[in-house]
Amino acid sequence: MNIATLPTVSAGNLRDAILAHLAYSFGKSPEAAQIEDWRMALSYAVRDRMVESWFSATRRCYEQKAKRVYYLSMEFLIGRLLEDGIVNLRLQDQAHAALAELGLDYHAVLADEPDAALGNGGLGRLAACFLESLSTLACPAIGYGIRYEHGLFRQSFRDGRQVESPETWLLQRHAWEFQRPEARYRIGFGGEVKTAGGNTTWTPSEHIDAEAFDTPIAGWKGRWTNTLRLWSAKAPDPFDLESFNRGDFARAAAPEALARTISRVLYPDDTTEQGKELRLKQEFFFTAAALRDILRRFDSEYDDLSLLPAKVAIQLNDTHPAVAGPELVRILHDERGLPFEEAMTIARGCLNYTNHTLLPEALETWHEGVFGKLLPRHLQIVDRIDDAHGRANPSRTLSMRANHQVRMGELSFVMANRVNGVSALHTGLMKDTVFAELHRLHPERIVNQTNGVTPRRWLLSCNPRLSRLVTDTIGDGWVGDLEKLRELEPHVDDAGWRERYAEAKRANKAALARWMADTQGLKVDPQAMFDVQIKRMHEYKRQHLNILEAIALWQEISETPDAGWTPRVKIFAGKAAPGYFFAKDIIRLINDVAKVLNADARTRDLLQVVFLPNYNVTLAERLIPAADLSEQISTAGKEASGTGNMKFALNGAPTIGTLDGANVEIREQVGAENFFLFGMDAPGVMARREVPDHARKAIDADPRLSRALAAVADGTFSPDEPGRYANVVANLSDHDYFLVASDFTDYWRAQREVDTAFADRDRWTRMAALNTARSGWFSSDRTIRGYMADIWGAESLQLD
Ligand code: F58
């Protein structure tokens, strides 16, 4: 069958397919079926429709001897997949109708799917958007990662405090993966290295098997389907029979339990992973398995290893798979017998590295003791790489091996053909700061690829009301070519069209308000401005700046309630890493403030604060279409790019933000008049830090800020424990590395501009609509085209 001409599916076909799977795949009659059975049956019926293009994509790739892209990432934050599949195969109408015929509600069935939270945040979500765009562009690619049994923890609140519990997505049935028992590799750790007769061999002391699970990822219109291959850890000998026979059942099961710890849980930490041996094991586990798989595929087609860079492009998503460098060199040199220098050159020809952060504490380093114990041969190879690099660059002053550490950023850089940042500003700062010396030595290596988001998930499926309006106005070409949204611009001048745009937003807000009432017991006014900040909790993202502004606003509204305030609901969501106590304090503070403000009868019609628990992809899909205002308020120079900022702009929520990450490019695209800029820029931040007592000075200069901080300090929001936030207040007054105090005054000013703009609803709608019309550049299709051209040298395969 030709991939481009799949037969269309009718609602009747789909209904029959659902019923067939219900009976034959799950052994259920319609009478006995639970919602999960229906969801599984529908998923299988949709998945069936991907298989043909999946096979033909693989065939096409072998026929054309195409270069393949391998995206190695510790995290793929894929969320739910059923709607993605339905939307990309354009089966929405049929699925609605088929389920209706079966007496089922489409949304209820979709909502039964667990949200696969196999990532922490932006980095993992970016990987998921990239997979979808790679398929949309028919670029042959495989994503490699870990099949965590438990994704990012579930968050709830007790007395306003974050409580973590394990995430259990695999307890429900998962429809999308194919287990591949035949794709299994034995991965070694520890042991010893011996050199004899010029040959070096590594004999590991411990082994874990990596078993593949494949998920098909269909691109737009289902014309091409790539694979997400996740590795699950298994014991080589799952069962110790001798112990079992002795009656020691715990010991008998121990090997399997031990092995499985490697893929048991996603690390939720943002701080250095130093000393966390299990994390290093995870990194080597999936990277080594991926490389074995890549080489097996290569060997099946070619017998000349020098062709590797021409046929294989490997992208390292941050430094987590950085051990790919030494591992590939080890395989090529120790196992395949290539001279060391040649092995290094070939490996470097295949590898590329994306950096996602400049925060020094987030750049991975490993103590050589830990690294050498787990990967003794790799430590030697790192030293040789470092040596070779030093010799080739005699003016070098910094090594990847300082202070008994292995520095993964430097290692990745040296072993990469291309190194990229994720926004223009971030890439520039990489050149000037963390990688200044390496950039001087290799000026051609660093390139920029500004992030993007897939329009299929982040507009078409999450915002059907706005999508319908867009398609009614300019046709549906925008879904595969987001820059076409510019064609909306002339319509923005049409008052009738603006009214339709405003109506879509109103309806989205009303739906969110209903959902908050039904599920959270929260009553909010959908007429009020929905001011939204959703992202991981981190000092640099400055959720505390936002809540301090809320406090100051509340104080001012209390004094002059009739001053014509613009009603607002401030909505927060986000998880704090369990060991990040300051971030947890901020969560608690926001919840405490919410309690006081929402109970204040004088002000609550004008200002409410809401913290929604358990932020995940599904919640983002619900919140973003209903947002009026997007909070992107990080300290300039700290947010590498941001991708939430793009999703909000696309869905018609103008940004209040700093000149940080991709905010800079968003502002360029949507126009400065449709963006609320405030705060210091990156050079301003660096200069301000040099000012002695900058925080105290800023607090003393702004009575609103002093009063808000005083309320936090005197227990206004924690009457049962007035000192609860002493640490937060002290940090902000004495230290304030992220310059909350210094940016407060200008933030307040920008927020009042937002108030004024929002009060003129027609003006606001125009701004919102222009944000949508001018956000087409932020499609991950554009980003992936950039990687293909500038980094991978990969091509889209013909879809005839
Ligand atoms: C994010 N990094 C950046 N890291 O913060 C964000 O600016 C950028 O848009 C995004 O990457 C995509 O480029 C990020 O999400 C993590 O989640 C860490 C992963 C490793 C564990 C600690 C968190």
Q: What pLDDT is stored for residue 241 in this prediction?
A: 87
Distance CA 237, CA 256 (A): 8
Distance in Å, CA 426 to ligand 1 centroid = 13
Determine whether the shortest distance from the Cβ of 731 to ligand 1 is under 6 A: no
Q: Which of 356, 408, 423, 539 to mutate to test the pocket of ligand 1 (most atoms within 8 A of CB)?
A: 356
Determine whether the shortest distance from the Cβ of 359 to ligand 1 is under 6 A: no
Q: What pLDDT is stored for residue 4 in this prediction?
A: 44
- The answer to whether the beta carbons of residues 124 and 73 sit under 8 Å apart is yes
| Ligand 1, atom nearest to 639 Cα | 7
Distance CA 81, CA 71 (A): 19
Q: What pLDDT is stored for residue 271 in this prediction?
A: 56
Q: What pLDDT is stored for residue 351 in this prediction?
A: 99
Closest C-alpha among 616, 605, 567, 571 to residue 591: 571
Q: What pLDDT is stored for residue 489 in this prediction?
A: 98
Which stretches of the chain drop beneath a pLDDT of 50? Answer: 1-5
| Ligand 1, atom nearest to 661 Cα | 7
Closest C-alpha among 177, 241, 239, 240 to residue 211: 177
Supply the residue whose CA is at minimum distance from atom 6 of ligand 1: 642
Closest C-alpha among 243, 175, 135, 193 to residue 38: 175
Supply the residue whose CA is at minimum distance from atom 11 of ligand 1: 123
Determine whether the shortest distance from the Cβ of 421 to ligand 1 is under 6 A: no
Distance CA 156, CA 162 (A): 6
Span between the terminal Cα atoms of the chain, in Å: 12
Supply the residue whose CA is at minimum distance from atom 2 of ligand 1: 123
Q: Which of 71, 75, 118, 123 to mutate to test the pocket of ligand 1 (most atoms within 8 A of CB)?
A: 123
Determine whether the shortest distance from the Cβ of 452 to ligand 1 is under 6 A: no
Q: What pLDDT is stored for residue 240 in this prediction?
A: 82
Determine whether the shortest distance from the Cβ of 123 to ligand 1 is under 6 A: yes
Supply the residue whose CA is at minimum distance from atom 23 of ligand 1: 270
Q: What pLDDT is stored for residue 412 in this prediction?
A: 98
Distance in Å, CA 419 to ligand 1 centroid = 16
Q: Which residues are catalytic?
A: 356, 535-536, 541, 643, 647
CB within 8 Å of 494: residues ≥ 6 apart: none
